[in-house]
A and B are shown apart, each in its own frame.
Chain A
Amino acid sequence: MTLFSAGLILIEGDAGQRRHNVFIYLLMMHAGTAAVIATFFLFLPHAPGLDFAAMRTAAISMPPGLRAAIFLLAFVGFGTKAGIVPLHLWLPKAHPIAPSPVSALMSGVMLKTAVYGFVRIAFDFLGSGPAWWGYLVLAAGAVSGVLGVLYAIGEHDLKRLLAYHSVENIGIIYLGLGASLVFASQGASSWAALALVAALLHTINHALFKSALFLGAGAISDGAHTLDIEELGGLLKRMPVTGTAFLIACCAISGLPLFNGFISEWLTFRSFLAGGTLADLPAAIVLPLMAGTLALIGGLAAACFAKVYGVAFLGRARSEEAEHAREVAPAMQASMVVLATACVAIGILPGFLLRPLGAAVQEFVKGAVLPVETFSIARIMPWVALAVVAIIVLGRVIRGATRVTRTWACGMPALDSRMQYTSTAFSKPLRKVFARVYQPERHVEVVSDTSGYFPAAISYQSVRTTSFERSLYRPAVDAIVAAAHRLRRLQTGNIQIYLLYIFLALVTLLVFMRFL
């Protein structure tokens, strides 16, 4: 899976930065795979054949320390593939450089195999564990969710922005998984089942709307030849089908009602609020607080997609390419329409997924009866949808004649695209509020004209390296390089010294074997 996806990324060539990004992707995947292999190998003494049925039985009788080690290794190993912060570094580097359909598969599907692996190990094999497992997963989910969406807001390359939103949505899935682990540790199996159902439902929801968005990005690059949203604008008129499908996916990812993202986020909210009924005080405080975190993530995601859609699809074209954009081929339109339709279908009729998901969860959350809240949303949504349609129809019927006039341009002769809100300007207030997270390095250069009163040219550049690159990965890489430099002293190039090393290694091994 890892190697094929790396191969697919390299199809567009391996020049410079691209090769570096694929290298980082492969490096982090190998580190993650090492943790996954270690997870399985820890089962080896208890289940020699390493088949899943034997591993499931073996896990019950394992000492708590070993179970904790397996859990932590699975958390790190699968977390690297899923892209939880701070193990997400590869994700915004690898996803944007792949061909669009491959990005859709990587973001929509490949990350989900990591969620599957984590659920299989932590829920199916290990069953429930101590409460700190849940708190760890909750913390990872909350940090990934908030930072993922904040980084996304600062981006104006569409595919990088979508990649950061994958980090955010994996965060939401992990919030559900964490809540489920906390509930299970407290013996509240019904709520544990609900939180897990919410997480799994969000898994398929994210797969649907994220692949629709990545395919939309592919359609935009095909139709308008650029993915910089500062260069786009007015695409809805030129690409109506893509624009509509993209709008539905934007609504779904922002968690708006009638779309699938709302259902899974609502169920996650519901389980968090039920946390307040737990007898254990820390859980009763932390879980409802997480509802606040999820609300923050949802709000910021909605702001981000208002920016994306407003700047790229509405208004006027900001470049020649966007001006001459045209609708994509019918097969491409059809695929986006299918995904967008699925988003609406699950949003209005979630029952057809919720029931079997409940049955799936009951296979490993033993004796869990899903709370009535799970299905109440399935009963109410079709009526909400009907009401919304009725209001729209009624609005159309009673609305009188419309008058179409030109927009007032503040006294200027005509509107032009430079008068519009840009993506950078739109996100500026949020970037100012969260300046501590971004810590941008700004370079402003003003070239004065001869009179000295008016600038001839102003150039503005804002470079943003994520704080994790600066404060976590950079020192680690520097430490490894420094250690390697120190170790170079061992490499004298003198054959006698090497023979001495071999002799010493041999003696050490003999001593070790003698006294073991």
Chain B
Amino acid sequence: MIQTAFSAFLASLLSIPAVFLVGVRSKTLRVATSALMLVALAAGAVVGGMGFWHGARLAVDFSQVSPLPFALGLDRLSAFFLLLICAISVPVTLFSSSYVERHYQGWGRALLWALLPLFIGSMVVVVTASTAFAFLFGW
């Protein structure tokens, strides 16, 4: 269960940028995607919270699809930082949904929305890495 939630969270952080870049002109798509991003981040916070409060463990191994050992995992320390990243990112994304609309247009706006989930995702990889390669990849 927690494994599926975490994988879905990572997958959505990776796929959201593409939607923003494709739907650069559509306001409805932007709103829907930023709402999806909020849901994904909230799911990430729940995963972090379960690891932090209940000591739930987690291990996801991508070594088959990666040239070097690439695995993510969760212990209490990682879970604490995952919770921190997601819990702060939720209000920041909510703030951005209004701030970015008012201050940026066109490709600047699309790029900002595309880079934001990637930036958050890379920080998540750093704190959940359980191999040095995964850590440095995120770093």
Contact = CB atoms under 8 A, between A and B. Distances in A.
A131 to B, nearest CB: 24
A119 interface: yes
B43 interface: no
Contact of B119 (A5, A218, A222, A334): A5
B95 A215 contact: yes
Contact of B84 (A49, A99, A112, A329): A112
Contacts of A203: 84
A53 B98 contact: no
A105 B119 contact: yes
A55 B132 contact: yes
Interface string A169-187: 0000000000000000000
Given A1-B138, A200-B80, A336-B95, A116 B127 contact: yes
A112 B88 CA distance: 12
Contacts, number: 167
Contact of B92 (A104, A116, A356): A104
Given A112-B84, A215-B92, A360-B80, A328 B69 contact: no
Interface residues of A, number: 61
Interface residues of B, number: 53
Given A4-B115, A7-B111, A109 B85 contact: yes
Interface string A1-18: 110110110011000000
A276 interface: no
A334 B94 contact: yes
Contacts of B89: 105, 109
Interface string B92-129: 11111111101110001001100110111011001101
Contact of B131 (A52, A99, A222, A338): A52
B135 A117 contact: yes
Given A4-B115, A113-B81, A222-B103, A356 B88 contact: no
A461 B89 CA distance: 40
A101 B131 contact: no
Nearest to A364: B77
Given A4-B122, A335-B91, A11 B112 contact: yes
From B71, B98, B130, B136, name the one whose CB has the most chain A CB atoms within 10 angstroms.
B98
B115 A7 contact: yes
A8 B100 CA distance: 12
B interface secondary structure, majority: helix
B139 interface: yes
B94 A335 contact: yes
A2 B85 contact: no
A211 B127 contact: no
A357 B80 CA distance: 8
A105 B77 contact: no
Contacts of A50: 69, 131-133
A339 to B, nearest CB: 5
A211 B123 contact: no
A36 B139 contact: yes
A201 to B, nearest CB: 10
A51 B131 contact: yes
A55 B131 CA distance: 9
B136 A40 contact: yes
A359 B139 CA distance: 27
A40 B135 contact: yes
A55 B130 CA distance: 10
Contacts of B94: 331-332, 334-335, 338
A-B pairs, 4 with minimum CB distance: A360-B76, A335-B91, A50-B132, A335-B95
24 contacts: A1-B139, A2-B139, A4-B115, A7-B115, A8-B116, A33-B136, A36-B136, A50-B131, A51-B71, A51-B131, A100-B99, A101-B92, A101-B99, A105-B120, A112-B81, A113-B85, A119-B77, A218-B95, A339-B88, A339-B91, A356-B76, A357-B80, A359-B76, A360-B52
Given A40-B132, A51-B130, 6 more contacts: A11-B104, A11-B108, A109-B123, A336-B95, A360-B77, A363-B76
Interface of A: 1-2, 4-5, 7-8, 11-12, 33, 36-37, 40, 43, 49-53, 55, 99-102, 104-105, 108-110, 112-113, 116-117, 119-120, 124, 200, 203-204, 207-208, 211, 215, 218, 222, 328-332, 334-336, 338-339, 342, 356-357, 359-360, 363-364
Interface of B: 52-53, 55, 69, 71, 73, 75-81, 84-85, 87-100, 102-104, 108, 111-112, 115-116, 118-120, 122-123, 126-127, 129-133, 135-136, 138-139
